[in-house]
Amino acid sequence: MKQLTLIRHAKSSWDYSVEDRNRPLKERGMMDAEMVSSHVRGKVPVPDMAFSSPANRALHTCTIFLKNLDIPLSRLQLTEALYDFSGSSVDHFLRTLDNRYKNVMIFGHNHAFTAVSNKFGDKYTDNLPTSGLVHITFKAEHWAEIGKGTTDLMVFPKHLR
């Protein structure tokens, strides 16, 4: 059985003249990431490995979650495949994961994460919001075989305020 926890990056700021990859989080984004990660502590399994888009906003969100969930940084790997906005690169990334990983956590972007959540989960969302988390369990033994799984948990910041 494989398990996937996907988290969309927290709310970012457009107040700076920086490239898209370098956009920082807003203060509200940091607070939402703290709130969601604290809420899911003990509700999502500790991943074998966490993967993040290299974009500043995704990586910063990732480090907040890892800290609050007591996941060591040694379990973090950056990957260009998660700097994706359509979902096709994320889909390919998941299907080519090393099968020794039973449980992974990924951090990235929309519209990719909404598309992946809806493709693989059995609960639909129009939009995975910033700092939104979805946990999906698959009956597959190999990542290449994942199909429709069971959405075990969906947490959005607005549900916690």
Are the C-beta atoms of residues 152 and 55 closer than 8 Å to each other? no
Rounded to 5, what percent of the chain is helix, strand, coil? 35, 20, 40
Residue 57 among known ligand-binding residues: yes
Order the strands of the 76-78 sheet from edge to edge. Answer: 76-78, 49-52, 103-108, 2-8, 133-138, 150-155
Element of type H or E holding 74: none
Are the C-beta atoms of residues 161 and 17 closer than 8 Å to each other? no
Are the C-beta atoms of residues 128 and 114 closer than 8 Å to each other? yes
Dist CA 89 CA 100 (whole Å):
21
Q: Which amino acid is at 7?
A: I
Q: Annotated binding site for substrate: which residue ranges?
A: 57
| Residues in binding site | 57
